[in-house]
Structure 1
């Protein structure tokens, strides 16, 4: 009799345990997707994406793809709302996929430590399990948030939809060419002025040797720029040498990178360096500022190199 009671109790306990376990949450399909598939999901959602580059172990410039503890797939893409300077380096975003969440987190911590601060290397970073998404800092916070929301939708096996306006936003471009010390002002919003363009003999092992490296020093004032962000900074700059060749952003250790300016304040002493392919006594600098609701403001400066 005791044996029968014991059997009944064991069976009853097993049934209770099984009934108490609800259905497990479905696994996120995002964790099984390649980088190219993630970007394709953004394209299918309607994002203004162009020039998609999926790398191989041979074409990956970092030489990380397929290496131990590194990403197993990587895709870069261009967002057509951002100015594009090279077909080999699209401005828009990057997706990297890893074997596991631990490897992805290590990569996230390393890269975001470099790209989180305002400056020419700023990027928006988003991590989910083994998938790492970066959006270029030349896109506005609202545009980056659209990608973030789509990324979150993929995490729960949803189908993201982009409802914003496709393609380039409306822009205001000044026909005037500004000089050294001459402010470019958008009434009621902001102003930008370049103080110097100085040739330097300093070189960086990370950016390589260039025939000429020029350090630009500039300042900007936040007159009333409140749309889309509480603070204001000017980081979307390009430099063109006397042979009309685009310069490359150049990393130097002691640069004073741009600082955010709240409404009613100025950010002074900001610096950025460009490596030029041709020695030039004068360079052209294009500046672009995105303002939510107003589009892209653009201006051109001609600066003598000292």
Structure 2
């Protein structure tokens, strides 16, 4: 049985590969993570940016002129304590709608869906749908809490029950283009 013989070129390549691995202590030589994704034809294109609730609201409010941003939910001010938790929303905003009568919502807490609505964005479409299903289940028997919920991909648009079905349909149409 013959022993394999390494050519000089193979030996140089092997030594070069070992040298390139290094100890990892020289952090300046590490390239940043790529922001591109490979396509089937071998070309790369920029990776899709993760949609945020603010991005979604910008798109939605361009179609619904009565919607106004009222707040951005953070870990510190999230009344539900769900932001960033496993299977929960990764970003959330609240908005008002000027078609809702002030007398109808007198006493509503700032950021309440009753005043207009909220947009919640999730990591997966299944998580967004699960949240919408949960809200519908919990509010089903309480007319004061019922809301319109529209899921489009990873985005859940929650809309006040004080809007008429025709007015809420504006949000449904707008939400359809978000996911």
Same fold (TM over 0.5): yes
Change (3 A) 1:137 1:77: same
Query: TM-score normalised to the size of structure 2?
Result: 0.63
Select which of 65, 88, 97 maps to 2:110.
88
Query: TM-score normalised to the size of structure 1?
Result: 0.38
Secondary structure of the residue aligned to 1:145 is helix
Whole-Å Cα distance in 1 between the matches of residues 57 and 96 of structure 2?
11
Whole-Å Cα distance in 2 between the matches of residues 98 and 89 of structure 1?
19
Residue 38 of structure 1 aligns with which residue? 56
Secondary structure of the residue aligned to 2:135 is helix
Deviation at 1:44, TM superposition (A): 1.9
- Asked if residue 73 in structure 1 is aligned to residue 91 in structure 2, the reply is yes
- The total of aligned residue pairs comes to 127
Aligned 8 A contact 1:53 1:76 in 2? yes
Residue 150 of structure 1 aligns with which residue? 174
Higher relative contact order (CA 8 A, sep 6+): 2
Residues 96-128 of structure 1, C-alpha deviation per residue, up to 9 Å, x if partnerless? 111112222221211111234561011011112
Whole-Å Cα distance in 2 between the matches of residues 54 and 110 of structure 1?
22
Secondary structure of the residue aligned to 2:128 is helix
Whole-Å Cα distance in 1 between the matches of residues 131 and 139 of structure 2?
12
Q: How does 1:57-72 map to 2 (within 5 A)?
A: 57-72=75-90
Cα RMSD for the two superposed structures: 2.3
Select which of 95, 106, 127 maps to 1:103.
127
Residues 171-217 of structure 1, C-alpha deviation per residue, up to 9 Å, x if partnerless? xxxxxxxxxxxxxxxxxxxxxxxxxxxxxxxxxxxxxxxxxxxxxxx
Residue 137 of structure 1 aligns with which residue? 161
Q: What residue ranges of structure 2 are gaps of 5+ in the alignment?
A: 1-39, 41-47
Deviation at 1:46, TM superposition (A): 4.0
- Asked if residue 47 in structure 1 is aligned to residue 65 in structure 2, the reply is yes
Q: What residue ranges of structure 1 are gaps of 5+ in the alignment?
A: 1-20, 22-28, 156-306
Change (3 A) 1:53 1:112: same
Deviation at 1:154, TM superposition (A): 3.4
- Name the one with the larger helix percent: 2
Residue 150 of structure 2 aligns with which residue? 126
Aligned 8 A contact 1:51 1:87 in 2? no
- Name the one with the larger strand percent: 1
Aligned 8 A contact 2:152 2:177 in 1? no
Deviation at 1:51, TM superposition (A): 4.5
